[in-house]
């Protein structure tokens, strides 16, 4: 660490996430005093605010109902299949209060993708967004889960397609009239192994796997970020603070992904910063909300930076976005060009990158907080508590300026791939080191540069895409006998998949015939053009199929 780096405080290993995040005896002990009665979670569309004490009450009430009516308890997995929602954290923390584990899923999954996650986690209950009900019911049925194990978040003006399903709000009402169920208390040290989350990641290869994340990991990363950003250091002047109680961030990142969940929810609330909860990212909607809520903090992925730099709607927002003081991108590389454009667009803001992965329960490096801007192109410096090794291709350890695979040891590291000993052995090494599959170089000034991705995974709009999963889908098609998927660069998405396929003999024969007809059609058209006549429609349509 540089001499000016933050000091890591004690990381409690006997607290659950909701105790740490919601209970005044813990949160008030460490975090800076909030301003007024904030921070809040704010529903983007309605502007409805929920304070931390209200979150605590709703969490307790839902825990009462989940325990009494659904018998959720020690070790049970609750799968959240939803867009962002103000009750998303309530559902998560209620499960934690009961000793349960939360597995967050991408709300755009189809029924078979969800079924895979349900089966990998052996989930007992699904809490879903009304738009995701159909897929949830199909997947639940395939897994033999009864329909009444699907609960629905309440969304104004959106009626769930199956009215008989129970909604979360009514359960909270019921639970608030019940006697409080006892909460799960951890023994000293137990936080390091007691699972809180099963988040999905492919790691270095193959299909997504359930990453076993204990309570301690989320608390650790929150405190690491706090110390990196000098949140707990009273000597940092107010004007120099990047994160101040009373600030407002916008939650356009999905909460089912670790970046949104840890950085934009747990770290923000801990820092006393409110979060505007946005169910679905929409660029012009985000601009309107930045103005409406005077947003100070933007946590985004590079494609959203592309929009900020290049979207035509930005023309009508000149001078209107100056409430924004901090912009952090992460989850995929940010090009030098975009970095420079962002600096020009927000000349007064602190702008930089963070780097990390689901397996390290989020942030490993971040731009140096005492610098106004990160070094363009660099992922920043290690945050307190994180240690790295650089493994050179010959198997020896590298030093500054040498390129090799990054290994990370951090208090926030996950424990394993749940139920997958083989994959665990390859990624979670002895001594608590996680293999990242990223090729990096550390400059002598402590800045980390991500040089390349050694692993098979591609990053499409910041999301992991496993080529092997797409190859598997292609191989399911009767006309395909082999397939290979690679990533190709794309200005907006970072990367997009490109598939090469070998057709089955039968399909190849059909294609040959079709292309012979297509060439004949083209010949006809060319001939007719040469003759100065337009190709007649009926003749063309004969070949089109
Ligand atoms: P997962 N630059 C280049 N590649 C990156 C960066 C970055 N700044 N951040 C993440 N990646 C890639 O689990 C890298 O290949 O991320 C890494 O192994 O979906 C992979 O993404 C991890 O993919 C932040 C903001 C961490 C975001 C994140 C993303 C964590 C989840 C820290 O400050």
Nearest alpha carbon, ligand 1 atom 5: 332
User: Which residues make Cβ contacts (< 8 Å) with residue 266, sequence separation at least 6?
Assistant: 17, 21, 218, 221, 222
Q: Is the CB of 305 under 6 A from ligand 1?
A: no
The atom of ligand 1 lying closest to the CA of 363 is 32
User: Which pLDDT value is given to residue 136?
Assistant: 98
Pairing relationship of beta strands 326-329 and 350-357 according to DSSP bridges:
parallel
User: Which pLDDT value is given to residue 3?
Assistant: 62
Q: Is the CB of 405 under 6 A from ligand 1?
A: no
- The alpha carbon of 363 and the centre of ligand 1 are apart by a number of angstroms equal to 8
Buried b (16+ CB within 10 A) or exposed e, 233-268: eeebeeeebbbbbebbbbbbbbbbbbbbbbbbbbbb
Are the C-beta atoms of residues 194 and 215 closer than 8 Å to each other? yes
Q: Is the CB of 495 under 6 A from ligand 1?
A: no
Nearest alpha carbon, ligand 1 atom 4: 332
Q: Cis peptide before 39, with omega less than 30 degrees from 0?
A: yes
Q: For a pocket test of ligand 1, which of 252, 256, 331 has the largest count of ligand atoms closer than 8 A to its C-beta?
A: 331
The atom of ligand 1 lying closest to the CA of 453 is 15
Q: Where are the beta strands (DSSP E) in 202-255?
A: 209-214, 248-251
Are the C-beta atoms of residues 385 and 224 closer than 8 Å to each other? yes
DSSP element (H, E) containing 495: strand 494-503
- Helix 302-310 vs helix 336-345: crossing angle, to nearest 10: 50
First and final CA of the chain: distance in angstroms? 64
- The alpha carbon of 329 and the centre of ligand 1 are apart by a number of angstroms equal to 9
Phi-psi label, residue 425: left if phi above 0, alpha if psi -120 to 50, beta otherwise: alpha
Q: Is the CB of 224 under 6 A from ligand 1?
A: no
The neighbour count for residue 402, using CB atoms within 10 Å, is 13
Tokens of 462: 């910041």
DSSP state of 513: H
Q: For a pocket test of ligand 1, which of 199, 356, 439 has the largest count of ligand atoms closer than 8 A to its C-beta?
A: 356
User: Which residues make Cβ contacts (< 8 Å) with residue 461, sequence separation at least 6?
Assistant: 301, 303, 332, 492, 493, 494
d(CA 168, CA 78): 13
Helix (H, G, I), strand (E, B) or coil at 452: strand
DSSP element (H, E) containing 433: strand 433-442
d(CA 541, CA 523): 14
The neighbour count for residue 177, using CB atoms within 10 Å, is 9
Q: Is the CB of 362 under 6 A from ligand 1?
A: yes
Residue with tokens 């900020």: 308
User: Which pLDDT value is given to residue 545?
Assistant: 34
Residues 452-457: contacts with CB within 8 Å, 24+ apart?
Answer: 454/204, 454/405, 455/203, 455/204, 455/205, 456/202, 456/204, 456/205, 456/206, 457/202, 457/203, 457/204, 457/205
Q: Is the CB of 356 under 6 A from ligand 1?
A: yes
- The alpha carbon of 393 and the centre of ligand 1 are apart by a number of angstroms equal to 22
pLDDT in tens, 160-173: 888 899 999 999 99
Are the C-beta atoms of residues 225 and 263 closer than 8 Å to each other? yes
d(CA 536, CA 545): 16
Bridge partners (DSSP) of residue 502 are: 482
The neighbour count for residue 297, using CB atoms within 10 Å, is 26
Nearest alpha carbon, ligand 1 atom 31: 357
User: Which pLDDT value is given to residue 544?
Assistant: 40
User: Which pLDDT value is given to residue 1?
Assistant: 56
Helix (H, G, I), strand (E, B) or coil at 285: helix
- The alpha carbon of 13 and the centre of ligand 1 are apart by a number of angstroms equal to 26
DSSP element (H, E) containing 481: strand 480-490
User: Which pLDDT value is given to residue 538?
Assistant: 44
The atom of ligand 1 lying closest to the CA of 464 is 19
Are the C-beta atoms of residues 207 and 469 closer than 8 Å to each other? yes
- The alpha carbon of 86 and the centre of ligand 1 are apart by a number of angstroms equal to 25
d(CA 444, CA 465): 33
d(CA 540, CA 545): 10
Q: Is the CB of 357 under 6 A from ligand 1?
A: yes
User: Which pLDDT value is given to residue 372?
Assistant: 81
d(CA 505, CA 487): 27
d(CA 225, CA 262): 10
Q: Is the CB of 333 under 6 A from ligand 1?
A: yes
Taking alpha carbons only, the member of 379, 365, 381, 376 closest to residue 342 is 376
Q: Is the CB of 331 under 6 A from ligand 1?
A: yes
- The alpha carbon of 391 and the centre of ligand 1 are apart by a number of angstroms equal to 19
Q: Is the CB of 339 under 6 A from ligand 1?
A: no
- The alpha carbon of 131 and the centre of ligand 1 are apart by a number of angstroms equal to 28
Q: Is the CB of 406 under 6 A from ligand 1?
A: no
d(CA 53, CA 36): 13
Bridge partners (DSSP) of residue 494 are: 490
Tokens of 35: 């301003």
d(CA 316, CA 313): 6
Burial classification of residue 158, based on how many CB atoms lie within 10 Å of its CB (0-12 exposed, 13-18 middle, 19 or more buried): middle
Residue with tokens 């923000």: 268
Q: Which residue ranges in the chain fall short of pLDDT 70?
A: 1-4, 29-35, 532-545
Q: Is the CB of 352 under 6 A from ligand 1?
A: no
Q: For a pocket test of ligand 1, which of 330, 434, 438 has the largest count of ligand atoms closer than 8 A to its C-beta?
A: 330
Q: Is the CB of 462 under 6 A from ligand 1?
A: no
Pairing relationship of beta strands 297-300 and 248-251 according to DSSP bridges:
parallel
Instruction: Report ipTM (2 d.p.).
Output: 0.99
Q: Is the CB of 408 under 6 A from ligand 1?
A: no
User: Which pLDDT value is given to residue 34?
Assistant: 63
User: Which pLDDT value is given to residue 536?
Assistant: 47
- The alpha carbon of 47 and the centre of ligand 1 are apart by a number of angstroms equal to 31
């Amino acid at each position: 660490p540089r001499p000016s780096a933050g000091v890591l405080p004690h990381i409690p290993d006997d607290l659950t996430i909701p105790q740490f995040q919601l209970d005044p005896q813990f949160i008030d002990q460490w975090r800076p005093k909030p301003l007024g009665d904030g921070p809040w979670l704010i529903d983007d569309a309605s502007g409805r605010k929920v304070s931390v004490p209200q979150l605590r009450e709703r969490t307790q009430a839902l825990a009462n109902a989940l325990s009494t009516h659904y018998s959720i308890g020690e070790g049970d997995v609750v799968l959240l299949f939803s867009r962002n929602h103000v009750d998303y954290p309530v559902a998560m923390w209620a499960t934690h209060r009961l000793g349960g584990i939360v597995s967050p899923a991408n709300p755009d999954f189809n029924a078979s993708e969800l079924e895979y996650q349900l089966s990998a986690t052996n989930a007992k209950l699904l809490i879903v967004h009304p738009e995701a009900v159909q897929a949830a019911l199909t997947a639940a049925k395939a897994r033999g889960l009864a329909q009444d194990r699907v609960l629905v978040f309440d969304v104004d003006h959106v009626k769930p397609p199956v009215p008989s399903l129970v909604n979360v709000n009514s359960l909270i009402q019921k639970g608030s009239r019940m006697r409080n169920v006892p909460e799960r208390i951890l023994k000293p040290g137990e936080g390091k192994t007691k699972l809180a989350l099963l988040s999905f990641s492919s790691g270095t290869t193959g299909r997504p796997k359930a990453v076993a994340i204990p309570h301690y990991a989320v608390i650790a990363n929150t405190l690491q970020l706090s110390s990196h950003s000098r949140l707990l250091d009273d000597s940092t002047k107010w004007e120099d603070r990047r994160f101040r109680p009373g600030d407002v961030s916008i939650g356009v990142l999905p909460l089912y992904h670790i970046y949104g969940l840890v950085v934009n929810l747990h770290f923000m609330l801990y820092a006393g910063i409110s979060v505007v909860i946005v169910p679905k990212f929409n660029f012009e909607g985000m601009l309107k909300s930045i103005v409406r809520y005077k947003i100070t903090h933007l946590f985004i992925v590079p494609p959203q930076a592309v929009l900020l730099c290049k979207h035509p709607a930005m023309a009508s927002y000149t001078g209107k976005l100056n409430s924004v003081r901090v912009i952090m991108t992460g989850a995929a590389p940010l090009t030098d060009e975009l970095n420079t454009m962002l600096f020009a667009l927000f000349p007064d803001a602190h702008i930089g990158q963070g780097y990390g992965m689901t397996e390290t329960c989020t942030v490993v490096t971040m731009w140096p907080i005492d610098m106004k801007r990160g070094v363009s192109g660099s992922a920043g410096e290690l945050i307190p508590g994180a240690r790295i090794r650089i493994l050179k291709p010959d198997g020896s350890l590298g030093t500054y300026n040498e390129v090799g695979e990054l290994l990370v040891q951090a208090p926030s590291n996950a424990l394993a791939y749940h139920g997958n000993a083989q994959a665990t052995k390859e990624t979670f090494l002895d001594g608590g080191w996680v293999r990242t599959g990223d090729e990096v170089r550390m400059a002598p000034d402590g800045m980390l540069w991500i040089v390349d991705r050694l692993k098979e995974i591609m990053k499409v709009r910041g999301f992991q895409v496993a080529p092997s999963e797409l190859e598997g889908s292609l191989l399911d098609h009767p006309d395909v006998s082999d397939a290979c998927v690679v990533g190709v660069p794309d200005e907006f998405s970072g990367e997009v998949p490109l598939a090469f396929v070998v057709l089955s003999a039968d399909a190849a024969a059909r294609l040959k015939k079709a292309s012979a007809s297509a060439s004949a059609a083209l010949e006809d058209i060319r001939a007719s053009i040469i003759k100065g006549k337009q190709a007649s429609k009926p003749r063309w349509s004969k070949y089109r199929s």
